[in-house]
Structure 1
Amino acid sequence: MEYGKVLRFHRVKQGLTQNQLADGIISPAYLSKIENDQTVPAFEVLELLYERLGLDFLETSSNHPSKEKLKEWYEAIAFKRQEDAKRLKEDILNQKETQENHHLYIFFELFRIRHLLLENEVDEAYKAWENIRQYKDTFDEEMEFYYHLGSGLLKYYQGDFDNSFQELMEAKNYSSSINLEDWEFSDLYYLLALSTSQANHISASVFYVDQALEIYQSNYDLAKSADCHILQGINYSRLKNYAKALENFHLARKIALQTGNQNQLRLVFINIGTLESRIENHESAIINYKKSLEYHDSESEFQEYDYLTTIHGLIIENYRLGNKTGCLEWVHKGEEKLETFPSEAYSLHFEVYKKVINHSNNLSKFLEDTIIPFFQEKKEHIYVIRYAMFLADILEEQRMYKKSSTYLRLAIQLLNKHSNLGGILL
């Protein structure tokens, strides 16, 4: 057993310095060597150190409680079985050893990060991550794997996709030296696929999706296979291989219809709508966007945001078809949703189209002073591109050619840098 790591864990947890723990037993320097596993002390010394920490030396050193319940909880989290995850968490918290045993406590806290993210409690997940970091030098390789995987997920939820990918790659490096089940490898590959897709490393994402899909299909996991097909559809859409993208979306749709997965059906139709919009099949885009709304769940915060995204898509497609009445109808529906689910970004989107349709005199000023700076600050490049091109056209009509070319250059620069934008991810 690694006595040093256990001692350091409980010392830090209780807020003691090395001087305080070592006082009257051994020197602080010798305690430091024990904690760093540079020496193995006599049992008498260990007993005294454990006693000062309020631990039972014999119980702690000879009995190691099983992690089976914790791994069962983690599996429920990874497969998004939220009710099972809540029940198992309560069962684990009722076990005294969870908080008192170094090994179990570390795994509980590492798994709790992912559970909090599942519940969309990102700030609390970050606090849990900050807490567990102080014990990092007591981690074994298995703990390192889950630490980096949790760090990667946390950064993904925070929108830091490049660093999410780097953390997940660190997890992958540890995965080869520990015992993982097949589903954990496929889970890791899928998360790598998500992060690389969002970071615009599309070829890497295609590779990792294929890795994950192979395992999911071999285990007859239909739901996860559908998730992979949706992500792969987005990847191929970004690569402008629209036939391959549609093939994957339709495979996902077929599976989701078999399993009755409403969320996957919603995502399939949103993404087909996005694809059709990109290739300027505006009527088809509208049909698919409307279809996605049939599977909307207003109790999900993520789906509420996607609902606004879909409404925005319907506004754009109706505008492109010259259907101003239809465009305004969807603007009003979007504004109704904003009353119960506020969003500054979508409020601005909807305001732009109201001003366009009503021929507002201050439209160009609104775009220049409010809209473009807002989305630049948010680093939402796709909207900066769209509104900069829109403004460039307006300024050109007003014969303000120099200013028009400035915004056109901005749009082209961003378009060249972020040519793979598009698609709603899971």
Structure 2
Amino acid sequence: MEYGKVLRFHRVKQGLTQNQLAEGIISPAYLSKIENDQTVPAFEVLELLYERLGLDFHDSSNSHPSKEKLKEWYEAIVFKDKEKARALKDELLQEKETHNNHHLYIYFELFRIRYLLLEDEVEKAYEVWKSLKQHRDTFDEEMEFYYHLVVGLLQYSSGRFEESFQSLMQAKNHSASITLMLMDWEVSDLYYVLGLSTSQASQISASVFYIDQALEIYQSRYDLEKSAECHILQGINYSKLKNYAKSLENYNVARKIALQTNSRKQLNLVYTNIGTLESRLGNRQSAISNYIKSINYFDYDDTRYKKSSLLPTIHGLILEHYRIGDYDGASKWIQKGNEELKYLKSESYYLHFNFYKLLINNDDSLESHLEDILIPYFQQRREYNYIIRYSMVLADLLEKKRMYKKSSEYLRLAIQLLNKHSHLGGILL
């Protein structure tokens, strides 16, 4: 047992200095050596230090029953079983060891970060992470694995995809030394989140590789739901690689699985992404048809899910109706989108919907709206596909006014970004 790490953890947690803990027992310098595992003191000394911290010297958590319950909780979180995760969290909070035992407390807090992300409480998750960082030097290899994994997920939730990938790779490196401690579902989960981060960071070939690794494990477990998620992501990846046949093949596999499992959420996602694919191919009516199918499968009271799926689908319908010259149809979906925004509060989609309203109405403020609000907003968020789209619209408007120099600046911006960021995304769970 790593007594030094345990002592330091509880000393810091209780707000004690080394002088306060060591007083009357040993010197602060000797305590520092113990905490840094530079010496092994007599058991009598350890017992006195533990007693001062209110700890049981003979307690061991490595095979503690609560550790098994923690892992059960973590599994429920990973598989997004919110009801079970909430129940187990409440049970763990009632157990004294969860708060007082060094190992159990660290694991609880690490897993709680991911639980809070599942509950869409991102700010609270960051607070837990900031508090947990002070105990980093007490972590063992297994804790380091989970730490880098949840940090990667935190970064992903904030749109910092490259940083997310780097953190997840550190988790992967730590996993090599704790292979026997990890369940197969944890390995597949690591590959899946690596696939997510690399897909969003435009490292598409890497994403295809990681998702294939995850899919192999999910299929061996006959986990149909997770397998469908993998096929949806692979559909997005192959679409980005412009291998549209392979993309559609993966979407159709995901659709078959979702029909088999009666997963309305996955059917919703499949049809949304097929609609996006058909849009890229210029098949307007097919895109609209698939977007409508997607909406017909949408019946979830989940704010985060609505923001990530319903609003993009409505946006797609507005765009496709506008492209075929059906301005009444586009206006109908703008109205529907604005009704949803009363409850969902998304500045991005408010700007998207308002843009098409101004465009359809030939509003005189459209040019300044693009130049002063829309393009700077998406530049700040690094959403390159929208910077490209709106820059090209602005360039066209400026050209019609014979403002050729300014028009060429925005056209050049769009072309530069097209060359650098040629991939367009999809919609994920």
Q: TM-score, normalised by structure 2?
A: 0.97
Q: 2:48 is matched with which residue?
A: 48
Structure 1 counterpart of 2:20, one-letter code: Q
Q: CA offset at residue 400 of structure 1?
A: 1.4
Q: 1:282 is matched with which residue?
A: 284
Structure 2 counterpart of 1:370, one-letter code: I
Contact kept, 8 Å, 1:297 with 1:303, in 2: the verdict is no
Matches within 5 A, 1:25-424: 25-59=25-59, 64-178=64-178, 179-305=181-307, 306-424=309-427
Structure 2 counterpart of 1:340, one-letter code: Y
Q: Percent sequence identity over matched residues?
A: 69
Compared with structure 1, are the counterparts of its residues 404 and 175 closer, same or farther at alpha carbon in structure 2 (3 Å cutoff)?
Answer: same
Query: d(CA) in 1 for partners of 2:101 and 2:13?
Result: 11
Match of 2:5, SS state, is helix
Match of 2:340, SS state, is helix
Contact kept, 8 Å, 1:296 with 1:303, in 2: the verdict is no
Q: CA offset at residue 151 of structure 1?
A: 0.7
Structure 2 counterpart of 1:366, one-letter code: H
Q: CA offset at residue 420 of structure 1?
A: 1.0
Compared with structure 1, are the counterparts of its residues 250 and 64 closer, same or farther at alpha carbon in structure 2 (3 Å cutoff)?
Answer: closer
Contact kept, 8 Å, 2:240 with 2:423, in 1: the verdict is yes
| Worse-superposed segment, 341-350 or 140-149 | 341-350
Q: CA offset at residue 92 of structure 1?
A: 1.3
Structure 1 counterpart of 2:219, one-letter code: Q
Query: d(CA) in 2 for partners of 1:232 and 1:62?
Result: 39
Match of 1:133, SS state, is helix
Q: Which runs of 5+ in 2 are unaligned?
A: none
Contact kept, 8 Å, 2:211 with 2:230, in 1: the verdict is yes
Size of the aligned set, in residue pairs, is 426
Query: d(CA) in 1 for partners of 2:62 and 2:330?
Result: 70
Contact kept, 8 Å, 2:61 with 2:101, in 1: the verdict is no
Contact kept, 8 Å, 2:62 with 2:103, in 1: the verdict is no
Q: Which runs of 5+ in 1 are unaligned?
A: none
Q: Deviations over 1:174-219 (max 9, x none)?
A: 1121121111110100010000000110000000000000010011
Match of 2:222, SS state, is coil
Structure 1 counterpart of 2:67, one-letter code: K
| RMSD (CA atoms) | 1.4
Q: CA offset at residue 297 of structure 1?
A: 3.1
Structure 2 counterpart of 1:76, one-letter code: A
Q: CA offset at residue 57 of structure 1?
A: 2.0
Match of 1:135, SS state, is helix
Structure 1 counterpart of 2:312, one-letter code: T
Contact kept, 8 Å, 2:244 with 2:277, in 1: the verdict is yes
Query: d(CA) in 1 for partners of 2:99 and 2:351?
Result: 48
Structure 1 counterpart of 2:293, one-letter code: K
Q: CA offset at residue 317 of structure 1?
A: 0.3
Q: 2:11 is matched with which residue?
A: 11
Query: d(CA) in 1 for partners of 2:192 and 2:48?
Result: 48
Query: d(CA) in 2 for partners of 1:267 and 1:183?
Result: 23
Query: d(CA) in 2 for partners of 1:342 and 1:175?
Result: 39
Match of 2:363, SS state, is coil
Query: d(CA) in 1 for partners of 2:283 and 2:237?
Result: 19
Query: d(CA) in 2 for partners of 1:278 and 1:61?
Result: 55
Query: d(CA) in 1 for partners of 2:130 and 2:172?
Result: 22
Query: d(CA) in 2 for partners of 1:110 and 1:237?
Result: 35
Compared with structure 1, are the counterparts of its residues 263 and 62 closer, same or farther at alpha carbon in structure 2 (3 Å cutoff)?
Answer: closer
Contact kept, 8 Å, 1:319 with 1:327, in 2: the verdict is yes
Structure 1 counterpart of 2:41, one-letter code: P
Q: CA offset at residue 354 of structure 1?
A: 1.6
Q: CA offset at residue 62 of structure 1?
A: 10
Q: Deviations over 1:229-252 (max 9, x none)?
A: 000000000000000000000000
| Worse-superposed segment, 400-409 or 51-60 | 51-60
Q: TM-score, normalised by structure 1?
A: 0.97
Query: d(CA) in 2 for partners of 1:283 and 1:161?
Result: 33
Query: d(CA) in 1 for partners of 2:130 and 2:53?
Result: 23
Structure 2 counterpart of 1:174, one-letter code: H
